[in-house]
RNA sequence: GGAGGAGUGGCCGAGCGGCCGAAGGCGGCACCCUGCUAAGGUGUUAUACCUCUAACAGGGGUAUCGAGGGUUCGAAUCCCUCCUCCUCCGCCA
């Protein structure tokens, strides 16, 4: 959410930003509603001031007649005030609804573009490996090894769900522990968060919990949804709080399951583990001062790259263009790993600087030394999204016989050098 | 799930239906004093929004004492619902 005053005073710039991002938001409507709200508020506050005045006067008035007159006027106000309040409430509800559609501002250096085809590659690491044989994709590899079972997932739960078996279980746990160890050493507080969160936390972080275009599973008859990422709970943990400046930056490494309906995503490149409804992820999250956030963003991207270099997986880094930023991001970088099964790079991590966009909605502020509270900045980045990392790992490190050699750094975490069929 | 208790400012903690945005303490800030340090003294210190104004300086106003309703001329204070936390019992991984 953007600051209402900023929107009113910079309607032109906000409109241009919406256009750059390809977002349909009615800025004029927001401004109109904001004006209406101000007018109502002024009228209402005037009446309330009179009401308070009267109440105070009644307490002091000794003359019975005068007292009765004061109470009479007060009773009249008591009728009118709720009517205005109701109208104000309606206007504010509508205003918030429209205001939420307006995306965050954009970093001046973010590339302008309409969709992911206009994202800008900024660097590459590693060369796609030449196999001396026809490489298989992770679905073939996983099923042949008996370690990824889509049929069982589909039977018990539905398509795009899966069982991990045998060495894949150890691989998931090893990847998670590998990431946690690395982040713990970089000053990230380890956290396992709830896998569900209140709708307010989803809205606050820029997700749409319910409705036709939602990507979120919500629980009926409650205000809870399954989280799409621990970003939601990690951001929400400080909702409505004011933290001391000295405690910033504050870094978290959050482990959670992630749930996504992926509505409308069928038919696209989504074979196997690439686009699933549930996966495990270690997420980086940070609260910073406005001055610290760009540096923190670079730090997160650096860690993401380091992880994939350590896993010996070729990747490229992409600067996400305006049309592909989503609502909350001011700037976003993706790391895309080489996936031999696709003969292409595929997104494995994403890191965003959301500036004060989430903090405003969630009410998270910090107190500068001796100053008034200011909104802080929030950032997030993927350390390891297990499912997609598993794709890259299996496909890049496969051998002709269908077994998979683990990168050295992972061996102690998985307890194996080679992934093979489960023990019978 | 059952029975009790509690939710107040950055933190702790008072609070008779009107004089309470709220005592007191801690912490913070400013100044004073003490040759350093420690201690002490005085003052100050919630947030958002509206409005006057050249003003992010001041003045005025509204709201906020877990949330939402209600009673009342008037609610932190009374009533209802919900949420959260604590204690005890039951159940359970």
**Structural domains of chain A sorted by starting position, each given as residue range(s) with its CATH number in brackets:** 4-99 (1.10.287.40), 116-419 (3.30.930.10)
Closest-lying nucleotide for A78 based on CA to C1': B73
Asked if residues A84 and A50 have their Cβ atoms less than 8 Å apart, the reply is: no
- Strand B footprint nucleotides (protein C-beta < 7 Å): 10, 18-19, 28-30, 46-51, 61-63, 70, 73-74
Query: Reading across the β-sheet that carries A365-367, which strands appear in turn?
Result: A242-244, A365-367, A374-375
What confidence tens digit (pLDDT) does each residue in A232-248 have? 999 998 888 888 888 88
Across chain A, mean pLDDT equals: 90
> Over pLDDT 90: what percentage of chain A?
59
Å: A49 CA to B22 C1': 19
Closest-lying nucleotide for A242 based on CA to C1': B10
What confidence tens digit (pLDDT) does each residue in A87-103 have? 888 888 888 888 888 99
> Over pLDDT 70: what percentage of chain A?
98
Residue A68: the pLDDT is 82
Residue A96: the pLDDT is 85
CA–CA gap between residue A256 and residue A262 (Å, rounded) = 18
Q: So which residues of A are the catalytic ones?
A: 260, 275, 347, 350, 388
Q: Which residue has the higher pLDDT, A363 or A319?
A: A319
ipTM of the complex: 0.81
CA distances to A54, A167, A194, A220, A241 from A199, rounded to whole Å, are: 41, 36, 13, 12, 18
Structure tokens at A161: 């769900």
What confidence tens digit (pLDDT) does each residue in A310-346 have? 999 999 999 999 999 999 999 999 999 999 999 999 9
CA closest to C1' of B28 belongs to A370
Closest-lying nucleotide for A367 based on CA to C1': B10
Query: Reading across the β-sheet that carries A315-319, which strands appear in turn?
Result: A120-125, A315-319, A331-339, A344-353, A377-385, A278-288, A250-259, A188-192
Q: Which residue has the higher pLDDT, A34 or A370?
A: A34
Say yes or no to pLDDT of A120 above 50. Answer: yes
What confidence tens digit (pLDDT) does each residue in A271-313 have? 899 999 999 999 999 999 999 999 999 999 999 999 999 999 9
Asked if residues A89 and A40 have their Cβ atoms less than 8 Å apart, the reply is: no
Query: What does DSSP assign to residue A124?
Result: E
* pLDDT band at residue A424 using 50, 70 and 90 as cut-offs: very low
Å: A53 CA to B60 C1': 14
List, chain by chain, residues whose CB lies under 7 Å from nucleic acid strand B.
A 5, 38, 41-42, 44-46, 48-49, 51-56, 58-59, 71, 74-75, 78, 82, 242, 367, 369-370, 372-373
Tell me which residue of A40, A30, A33 sits closest to A88, measured CA to CA.
Answer: A40
CA–CA gap between residue A163 and residue A273 (Å, rounded) = 11
Question: Which of helix, strand or coil describes residue A318?
Answer: strand
Strands A120-125 and A315-319 turn out to be antiparallel
CA angle, residues A41, A15, A105, in degrees to nearest 5: 90
CA–CA gap between residue A149 and residue A167 (Å, rounded) = 12
Closest-lying nucleotide for A56 based on CA to C1': B18
Tell me which residue of A282, A275, A264, A336 sits closest to A150, measured CA to CA.
Answer: A275
What confidence tens digit (pLDDT) does each residue in A181-211 have? 999 999 999 999 989 888 888 988 988 877 7
End-to-end CA, chain A: 54
Render A8-69 in DSSP notation, one character per residue: HHTHHHHHHHHHHHT----HHHHHHHHHHHHHHHHHHHHHHHHHHHHHHHHHH---HHHHHH
CA angle, residues A236, A238, A241, in degrees to nearest 5: 135
* pLDDT band at residue A265 using 50, 70 and 90 as cut-offs: low
CA–CA gap between residue A346 and residue A274 (Å, rounded) = 9
């Amino acid at each position: 959410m953007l600051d209402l005053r900023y929107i009113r005073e910079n309607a032109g710039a906000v409109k241009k930003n919406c256009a750059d991002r390809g977002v349909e938001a009615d800025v004029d409507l927001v401004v109109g509603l904001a004006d209406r709200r101000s007018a109502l508020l002024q009228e209402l506050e005037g009446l309330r001031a009179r009401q308070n005045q009267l109440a105070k006067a009644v307490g002091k008035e000794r003359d019975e007649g005068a007292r009765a007159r004061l109470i009479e006027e007060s009773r009249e106000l008591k009728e009118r005030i709720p009517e205005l309040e109701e109208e104000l409430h309606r206007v504010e509800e509508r205003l918030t609804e429209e205001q939420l559609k307006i995306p965050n501002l954009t970093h001046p250096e973010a590339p302008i573009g309409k969709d992911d085809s206009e994202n800008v590659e900024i660097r590459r690491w590693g060369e796609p490996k030449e196999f001396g044989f026809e490489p298989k994709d992770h679905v073939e590899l996983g099923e042949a090894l008996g370690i990824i079972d889509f049929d069982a997932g589909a039977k018990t739960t539905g398509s795009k769900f899966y069982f991990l078996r045998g060495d894949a279980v150890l691989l998931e746990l090893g990847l998670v522990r590998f990431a946690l160890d690395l982040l713990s050493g970089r000053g990230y507080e380890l956290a396992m968060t709830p896998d569900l969160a209140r709708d307010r936390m989803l809205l606050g972080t820029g997700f749409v919990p319910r409705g036709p275009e939602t990507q979120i599973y919500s629980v009926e008859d409650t205000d809870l949804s399954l989280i799409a990422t621990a970003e939601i709970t990690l951001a929400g943990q400080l909702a409505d709080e004011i933290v001391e400046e000295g405690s910033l930056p504050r870094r978290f490494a959050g482990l959670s399951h992630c749930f996504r309906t992926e509505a409308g995503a069928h038919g696209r490149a989504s074979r196997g583990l690439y686009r699933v409804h549930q996966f495990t992820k270690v997420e980086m999250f940070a609260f910073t001062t406005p001055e610290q956030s760009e540096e923190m963003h670079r730090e997160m991207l650096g860690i993401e790259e380091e992880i994939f270099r350590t896993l010996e997986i070729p990747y490229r880094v992409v600067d996400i263009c305006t049309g592909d930023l989503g609502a909350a991001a001011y700037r976003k970088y993706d790391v895309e790993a080489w996936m031999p099964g696709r003969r292409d790079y595929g997104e494995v991590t994403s890191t965003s600087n959301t500036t004060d966009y989430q903090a405003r909605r969630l009410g998270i502020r910090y107190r500068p030394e001796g100053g008034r509270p200011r909104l802080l900045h929030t950032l997030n980045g993927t350390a390891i999204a297990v499912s997609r990392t598993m794709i890259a790992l299996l496909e890049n490190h496969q051998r002709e016989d269908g077994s998979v050699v683990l990168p050295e750094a992972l061996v102690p975490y998985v307890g194996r050098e080679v992934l093979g069929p489960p023990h019978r």
